[in-house]
């Protein structure tokens, strides 16, 4: 029998390990990340040895971090990013510099060569963006002051990794390698690439995405989203820059785009799977052989640099004025080593700054710290944070930014626009989803923030904030799509009140069958106003015209409620409608007679 291809068997192993380990880890209260790491250790070279090529998997899985930074960038508009410049360059510089100096000083005191100590200090000062942002997202902490400060520091670390890598050849034995270009030329190339991404994002991305959206092919839009991230990552990697930083810049440039929500929904599943694979690869990469050969040295390195970073970062959190209950998580998230340390130590071996055995020891220490970080968070939740809760009842502060919009408007055509304008005039924030690229382009010049997204997709609704919003205005024009959205919302977001537009009577009945109570027929009110105008033109006094039309309106709404339980039975529906019409005609006729009798002699209509 022919053997299965390696990619197929490996995919089965990865997925099976994740499906088994992560639910168990979550059930034990240890979190998903620890489950992924445990799965990697189980199938790695020091476990069951089911997957041999750990480094290849790690390089591929790093793309999950790239996708994560792209999604983070989509949430940060340029003006918000500019408002974070102080924590990025202030807090970020302080964290990296102080942690690196402290580790460097301790390493020198232990008799380690200065070059080795410097590279180790710079690598160990970095933190894991993947773990930190994953935990912040799981705990819904990205909107807190500590979450925003932590994100700013992590972003600075991605920027700082560039000069760290540029420093390594200068420390190495062979600094005049033929492969290394002139420093000025390399710097110019770096500036040109970043400028190209910024200018291209401003001038080209929106028109290209608009052209693709007009094809109305969902899978092609997904492919375009992935192509965008892959292309920018490839461009940044080709000039020796951080792929994650390039993806982040692209996300920021599209943060104000109407296609932001759709891009988030398309990329989110890939990001989650690749991040899981990344954590599995980290677990597989832990070299237990080095641990067995030098357990004391490994323990000293791990405990030493974690202790130094914990002390420095906690002091930094105090200096930054973060609320006391937020400091433990902030400190633990930045204390562990980061995935970029793997790149730094590997590049240091290539530049002959670190010996291979030393690099293996440091890499193992970083991987173990990433393994310990979720465990320390669990301990902090159970033993540290309750002490703050007993001592203070103050609520966690949030950053000064607009809260999650309480209203989602699905469909921004002629009906949705009127609803939206009325709400905007009252100062209400709304998240607007529209799937017609031409409609979006026509509306944007008027100042409305409309996002390209298909509201019939559950993932798009989640990204739009359906889990936190209070009201969904269902103004989708197509009846079938409207009913699909209503069914999705009733099933997955029962707390979300639906205010729906009905095209006609069958549509009204179908929405009511789905449990939607607030349904308005799109032409009903305007038709009543037209009827009132006709009555006034024919000579009826304005107050009588208004009264007659309002009586018809109230009766009609009540009649629809009476007809709804029978709308599947055509004969019964017709009978109820005829009976209701006769009742209204008789009632209005009696009212006209009573008004005529009350009029004084000589009254003329």
The residue-averaged pLDDT of 114-120 equals 90
Answer yes or no: are the C-beta atoms of 229 and 67 closer than 8 Å. Answer: yes
Say what the pLDDT of residue 92 is: 85
Tokens encoding 307? 């202790």
Two structure tokens written together for 374: 């979720």
CATH tag for 407-598 (out of 3.40.50.720, 3.30.70.260, 3.30.70.141, 1.10.3720.10): 3.40.50.720
d(CA 173, CA 351) in angstroms, rounded, equals 7
User: What is the reported pLDDT for 473?
Assistant: 92
pLDDT, position 187: 63
Would you place residue 438 in the very low, low, confident or very high pLDDT band (cuts 50, 70, 90)? low
- Summarize pLDDT for 329-352 with one digit per residue, the tens: 888 888 888 877 877 887 787 778
- Bigger pLDDT: 422 vs 269: 422
Question: In the predicted model, what is the mean pLDDT of the chain?
Answer: 78
| Count of other CB atoms within 10 angstroms of residue 593 | 10
Architecture of domain 28-174+185-391: Up-down Bundle (1.20)
Q: Sorting pLDDT into bands at 50, 70 and 90, what band is 182?
A: low
The runs of H, that is alpha helices, within 84-144 are 85-86, 92-109, 114-124, 129-138
Which pLDDT score, from 0 to 100, does residue 7 have?
A: 62
Query: In this structure, are residues 280 and 36 in contact, taking their beta carbons and an 8 Å threshold?
Result: yes
- Pick from 410, 312, 294, 300: which is nearest to 360 by CA? 294
Most confident among 14-23, 52-61, 431-440 (mean pLDDT): 14-23
Element spanning 250, H or E: helix 243-253
Confidence of residue 386 (pLDDT cuts 50, 70, 90): low
How many residues comprise the chain?
Answer: 605
Contact 573, 509 (CB under 8 A): no
How large is the average pLDDT for residues 261-288?
A: 76
Residues 194-204: what's their mean pLDDT? 75
What is the spatial distance between Cα 282 and Cα 505, in angstroms, rounded to a whole number?
Answer: 58
Average pLDDT in the 229-233 region? Answer: 82
Sign of dihedral through CA atoms 81, 86, 92, 93?
A: positive
- pLDDT at residue 400 in the model: 34
Percentage of the chain modeled with pLDDT above 70 = 82
Mean pLDDT of 21-41: 78
Residue 313: the pLDDT is 92
Q: How far apart are the C-alpha atoms of 392 and 389, rounded to whole Å?
A: 5
Rounded to 5 degrees, φ, ψ at 434 are -140, 140
Per-residue model confidence (pLDDT) at position 437: 66
Mean pLDDT for the stretch of residues 25-46: 77
Please write the tens of the pLDDT for every residue from 238-273: 776 667 777 777 777 777 777 777 777 777 777 777
Cα(263)–Cα(227) distance, integer angstroms:
12
Residue with the two structure tokens 């009978």: 575
Query: Both tokens of residue 446?
Result: 């008027």
- pLDDT tens by residue, 127-167: 887 778 777 776 666 667 778 888 888 888 877 776 787 67
CB 370 within 8 A of CB 349: no
74-83, long-range: CB < 8 A, 24+ apart: 74/251, 74/252, 74/254, 74/255, 74/260, 74/263, 74/264, 75/142, 75/251, 75/255, 76/251, 76/252, 76/255, 77/252, 77/255, 77/256, 78/252, 78/253, 78/255, 78/256, 80/255, 80/401, 81/252
Mean per-residue pLDDT for 231-237? Answer: 80
Residue-range domain boundaries for the chain: 28-174+185-391, 407-598
Burial class (CB in 10 A: 0-12, 13-18, 19+), 4: exposed
The number of helix segments (H) and strand segments (E) in the chain equals 29, 6
- Quote the pTM value: 0.57
């Amino acid at each position: 029998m022919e053997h299965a291809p390696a990619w197929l068997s490996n995919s089965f192993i990865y997925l099976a390990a994740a499906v088994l380990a992560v639910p168990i880890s979550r059930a034990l209260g240890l979190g998903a990340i620890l489950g992924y790491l445990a799965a990697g250790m189980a199938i790695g070279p020091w476990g069951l040895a089911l997957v041999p090529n750990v480094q290849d998997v790690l390089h591929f899985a790093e793309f999950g971090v790239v996708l994560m930074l792209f999604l983070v960038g989509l949430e940060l508009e340029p003006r918000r990013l500019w408002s974070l410049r102080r924590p990025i360059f202030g807090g970020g510089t302080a964290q990296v510099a102080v942690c690196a100096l402290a580790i460097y000083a301790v390493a020198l005191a232990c008799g380690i060569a200065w070059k080795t100590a410097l590279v180790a200090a710079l690598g160990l000062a970095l933190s894991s963006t993947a773990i930190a942002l994953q935990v912040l997202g799981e705990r819904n902490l990205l909107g807190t002051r500590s979450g925003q400060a932590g994100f700013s520091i992590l972003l600075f670390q991605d920027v700082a990794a560039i000069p760290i890598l540029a420093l390594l050849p200068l420390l190495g034995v062979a600094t005049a390698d033929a492969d290394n270009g002139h420093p000025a030329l390399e710097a110019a190339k770096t500036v040109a690439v970043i400028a190209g991404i910024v200018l291209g994002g401003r001038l080209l991305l929106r028109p290209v995405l608009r052209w693709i959206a007009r094809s109305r092919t969902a899978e092609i839009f997904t492919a375009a989203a992935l192509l965008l991230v892959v292309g920018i990552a490839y461009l940044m990697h080709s000039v020796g820059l951080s792929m994650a930083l390039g993806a982040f810049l692209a996300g920021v440039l599209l943060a104000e785009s109407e296609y932001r929500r759709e891009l988030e929904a398309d990329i989110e599943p890939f990001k989650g799977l690749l991040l899981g694979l990344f954590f599995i690869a980290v677990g597989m990469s832990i070299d237990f052989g080095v641990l067995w050969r030098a357990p004391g040295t490994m323990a000293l390195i791990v405990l030493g640099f974690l202790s130094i970073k914990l002390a420095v970062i906690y002091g930094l959190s105090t200096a930054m004025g973060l609320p006391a209950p937020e400091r433990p998580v902030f400190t633990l998230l930045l204390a562990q080593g980061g995935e970029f340390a793997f790149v730094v130590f590997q590049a240091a071996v290539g530049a002959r700054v670190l010996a291979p055995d030393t690099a293996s020891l440091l890499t193992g220490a970083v991987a173990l710290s990433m393994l310990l970080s979720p465990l320390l968070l669990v301990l902090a939740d159970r033993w540290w944070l309750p002490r703050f809760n007993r001592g203070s009842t103050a609520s966690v502060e949030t950053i000064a930014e607009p809260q999650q919009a309480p209203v989602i408007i699905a469909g921004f055509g002629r009906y949705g626009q009127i609803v939206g304008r009325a709400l905007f005039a009252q100062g209400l924030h709304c998240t607007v989803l529209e799937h017609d690229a031409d409609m979006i382009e026509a509306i944007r010049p008027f100042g409305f923030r409309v996002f390209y997204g298909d509201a019939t997709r559950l993932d798009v609704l989640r990204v739009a904030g359906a889990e936190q919003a209070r009201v969904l205005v269902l103004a989708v024009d197509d009846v079938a799509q409207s009913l699909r959205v209503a069914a999705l919302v009733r099933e997955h977001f029962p707390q979300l009140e639906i205010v729906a537009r009905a095209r006609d009577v069958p549509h009204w009945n179908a929405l009511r069958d789905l449990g939607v109570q607030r349904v308005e027929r799109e032409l009903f009110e305007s038709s009543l106003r037209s009827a009132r105008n006709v009555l006034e033109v024919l000579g009826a006094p304005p107050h009588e015209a208004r009264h007659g039309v309002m009586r018809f309106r109230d009766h009609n709404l009540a009649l629809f409620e009476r007809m709804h339980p029978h709308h599947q039975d055509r004969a019964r529906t017709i009978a109820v409608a005829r009976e209701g019409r006769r009742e209204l005609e008789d009632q209005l006729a009696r009212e006209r007679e009573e008004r005529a009798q009350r009029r004084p002699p000589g009254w003329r209509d």
